[in-house]
Amino acid sequence: MPRIKIIEHNGTEHWIEGAAGTSVMGAVIAQRVPGMIGECGGNLSCATCHAYIDEQWLPLLPPPSEHEALMIECALDVRPNSRLTCQIKINASLDGIVMRLPEAQL
């Protein structure tokens, strides 16, 4: 299974694994990584699965949909590398991807 490195706002690192085809958010929530809420369950109706994708991994992701881009605007401390992890599907090419969590989800 592909591995994902999640770094909490305080610098604590977590390596998690996720099955191909599932969302990063689902894997993070299932493995109880602190700092991600995923309130809407992946229905793209909140921004509580917001994360910053390390720059070198961005080209491997499809661009955000228009709806995701609008929801990202609702997140706190949005940056150019902000994404909603419910919209990122795990696949073999993302093995080792690094994501950082914001200080707060809202």
Mean pLDDT, rounded, for 88-104: 97
Q: Is the alpha carbon torsion for 19, 58, 68, 101 positive or negative?
A: positive
The confidence score (pLDDT) of residue 8 equals 97
Say if CB 101 and CB 38 are below 8 A apart: no
Q: Residue 91: what residue type? A: N
Is 75 inside any structural domain?
Answer: yes
28-60 pLDDT tens trace: 999 999 999 999 999 999 999 999 999 999 999
The confidence score (pLDDT) of residue 65 equals 96
The confidence score (pLDDT) of residue 24 equals 97
Structure tokens at 46: 């909140």
Is 106 inside any structural domain?
Answer: no
Dist. CA 54–CA 79, nearest whole Å: 11
The confidence score (pLDDT) of residue 92 equals 97
The total of structural domains in the chain comes to 1
Dist. CA 79–CA 26, nearest whole Å: 22
Is 28 inside any structural domain?
Answer: yes
Q: Residue 80: what residue type? A: P
The confidence score (pLDDT) of residue 98 equals 98
Is 105 inside any structural domain?
Answer: no
Range of the structural domain that residue 40 is part of: 3-100
The confidence score (pLDDT) of residue 105 equals 87
